[in-house]
Amino acid sequence: MLKLLLVPYQRFSQHTMATLSDMKEVFRRADAVCFDVDSTVIKEEGIDELAKFCGVGDAVTEMTRKAMGGSMSFKTALIERLSIIRCSREQVNKLLTDHPPQLTPGISELVDRLHQRGIKVYLISGGFRCIVEHVATQLNIPLHHVYANRLKFYFNGEYAGFDESQPTAEGGGKGKVISMLKEQNGFENVVMIGDGATDLEACPPANAFIGFGGNVIRPQVKEKSLWYVTSFRELLKELEHI
């Protein structure tokens, strides 16, 4: 009797001659899909918006560009940007009230479709948990599926730094989160979707990476992405093939 052995899809390297159809099959078979947040799930970079709100936008935006392009280590960029912003708890709360994050078109429908198919959805961000949780709530993503950096404040609400123990505070942190998710949940196929260098480097351990350029196109990421989309509706159409 002929027995068929079903094996999980692995992340394809250049040596295995991966094709676009391979990547699409991994996406359709995904156990979990992990999204970056800034410039992916939402239109803006949360830290840049916070900097503008605090009156130091130009200096911080340039550092964000370097960090996302890969020309500055993520942790260095995070430390330097926060040392300029030094936001208070009150300023963060007021930002969320006055200028809430704007969802990227199509993301709500995509997350809903993934949930309907029993695919777990996670938000893995180098941004701030207080902002990312706001986004997760809008998308009906459980807060325990959120991985992001935590700002720290003194009792009087003044800025006191950030929690450097979080994996997302380090370069390669998103990959560490995905490894942990696979180990804890037994996921065999995990897809990472994002716009930046820190998202691209999370594959592996992610089994596939989908570059997203719907809000900003980062040339280094586009060049290295086997599958690159500029609209979440492209991914919605792919799910219709299941």
Dump pLDDT digits (tens) for 13-51: 433 446 888 777 878 888 899 999 988 998 888 888 888
The average confidence (pLDDT) of the chain is 81
C-alpha–C-alpha distance, residues 141 and 67, integer Å:
27
Out of 38, 48, 195, 199, the active site residue is 38
C-alpha–C-alpha distance, residues 37 and 132, integer Å:
7
38 in catalytic set: yes
How far is C-alpha 58 from the chain's CA centre? 23
How far is C-alpha 123 from the chain's CA centre? 6
* DSSP secondary structure code for residue 101 in this structure: P
The pTM score is 0.81
Q: How many CB atoms lie within 10 A of CB 21?
A: 9
Please check whether residue 30 is in contact with residue 43, taking contact to mean a CB–CB distance below 8 angstroms. Answer: no
Tokens (6 digits) for 204: 């592996």
Instruction: Please say if the pLDDT value at position 207 is more than 60.
Output: yes
Amino acid, single-letter form, for residue 73: S
The percentage of the chain sitting over the pLDDT mark of 90, rounded to a whole number, equals 16
* DSSP secondary structure code for residue 102 in this structure: P
Out of 31, 36, 195, 199, the active site residue is 36
36 in catalytic set: yes
For residue 195, which phi and psi values (nearest 5 degrees)? -100, -15
